[in-house]
Amino acid sequence: MEEDPQEDFLKLKFRETARQLWREYPHLTFEEMVEQPDIVALIPQGEVRSQSQLIDLVSPELSSAEELPILKVSKIWSLGDAAAMWLDINPFVFNQAFQQRNPSFYTMPIFPGLRDRWFQLRDKASQAALLGELQTINDKDQHWIKPRDFYDWAISHAEEPSWSAEKVFAALNAQWEIEDAKNIQPEETKPPSKVELKRIEIKRIIESISAIDTEFDRLSMPGKREDFQNLCIQINKKMFSVAQETFNDYLVGLCTFSSGARETDYYSKIATKLG
């Protein structure tokens, strides 16, 4: 069957919109998702799409390939994400199914043996982290890890990746080796990257808020990520005027937000006190 570029582009828009909505409202089923105004607004004018057609448009790919572009730019992954990538499973699907217990995602046709292997690999890596054999960052009972550290640990412990994942990690490892060869400066004198500078500034903003509001908790941030990003843009428009997903990547390990939180004027009010 001949591919339709226009239909492929439409599906990409549906998936990206649905992904963002699921991050905000993780318990939405597929049937509920296709009724969301943001999804309905994407239907081309004059066209009629059945519920099953819309569900197909919003459904993520089960392969890790869809998540790879997002994770490749992240210097730190959750342990669950790393385990899923190792098995060539889309981490977004597993996060929705197992962490949020989304009923629709839980019944997606992932081979049962892969589910079991994901649990085993994640638990084995978690145990290694607890024993100090695997270097991780623990934030609110969630282990975060550098992709290369996970790769080195998995290889040294004879964990076999899936065929597709083996190619992905081999390419990533080759990239890491090139970066090592170029890195002729000592780590302590190497200037921070643009992403690191943004994370440093976000940390400074969070610390400034904590100094003003003693009840402020960075592990349970008020409102939504968009609200906090608007504050950061107000403080430094050039640095933080980026896509929401990109900004979310900067926040990993620095702060967390509650799922399904509502919009808040907390940050607009405290902005006047930050100077």
Query: Can you give the pLDDT at residue 258?
Result: 81
Task: Name the 3-class secondary structure at 145.
Answer: strand
The pTM score is 0.57
The identity of residue 243, as a single letter, is: A
How would you list the strands of the sheet with 142-145, edge to edge? 77-78, 142-145, 137-139
According to the model, what pLDDT value does residue 105 have? 84
Residues (pLDDT < 50) of the chain are: 1
Q: Give the whole-angstrom CA distance, residue 253 versus residue 143.
A: 10
- Report whether 74 contacts 249 (CB < 8 A): yes
User: Mutual orientation of helices 266-274 and 225-235 as an angle, nearest 10°?
Assistant: 20
**pLDDT number for residue 259:** 76
pLDDT at 137: 82
